[in-house]
Amino acid sequence: MITVENNRSTCPVSTALEIVGDQWSMIIIRDLFLQRVSFKDFRSAPENISTNILTDRLHKLLRYKLIAFQLHPTNKKIKQYYLTEAGLELYPLIYELSMWSKKHLKMTFHPLSEAWYQSIEGMPREEIIQNDIQSYKDFKEKLLSKSNQTQFHN
């Protein structure tokens, strides 16, 4: 359970939005699902988040235990972030925001988004969500197992 202190409201929607309702927190969570794991990865995303905002949001997501990190196995200066179970459970929100955007926004979407929309066409919502969550879990397992291997392996 996430401990929330000094929240402005006792409304569950309002409190959840205090934690993940800003644009950048959800972009970082989205990026983690896209297998971006480092500060540098987040900085290279198309939205061009500033370093001070990125640092602030990473600290916030860590504080609320939506993400965690490990040190890179060969470069201890690099943190590799990953979603906790609570963070992983935010995926249906990302899915719904993506589908809402496709339905209601007249714009050119990023090529990754277009490829994803094409790959899921005709699939049931629950199947898409479960497949994407499982794909992330598989990625996370590999990421975490790499750090448990001996550093001397090349």
pLDDT digits (tens, 9 = 90+) for 75-104: 999 999 999 999 999 999 999 999 999 999
pLDDT digits (tens, 9 = 90+) for 1-15: 888 877 788 888 888
Say whether pLDDT at 154 is over 80.
Answer: no
122 Ramachandran zone, left/alpha/beta (phi>0; psi -120 to 50): left
**What is the predicted pLDDT for the residue at 149?**
54
More reliable by pLDDT, 49 or 9 = 49
Task: State mean pLDDT over 104-117.
Answer: 94
> Thinking of the domain 12-148, which architecture would CATH place it in?
Orthogonal Bundle (1.10)
- The phi and psi torsions of 36 (rounded to 5 degrees) equal -90, 135
Say whether pLDDT at 38 is over 80.
Answer: yes
Provide the whole-model pTM: 0.88
Above pLDDT 90, what percent of the chain? 77
Please answer whether residues 54 and 43 qualify as being in contact, where contact means their C-beta atoms are separated by less than 8 angstroms.
Answer: yes
**What is the predicted pLDDT for the residue at 18?**
86
Above pLDDT 70, what percent of the chain? 95
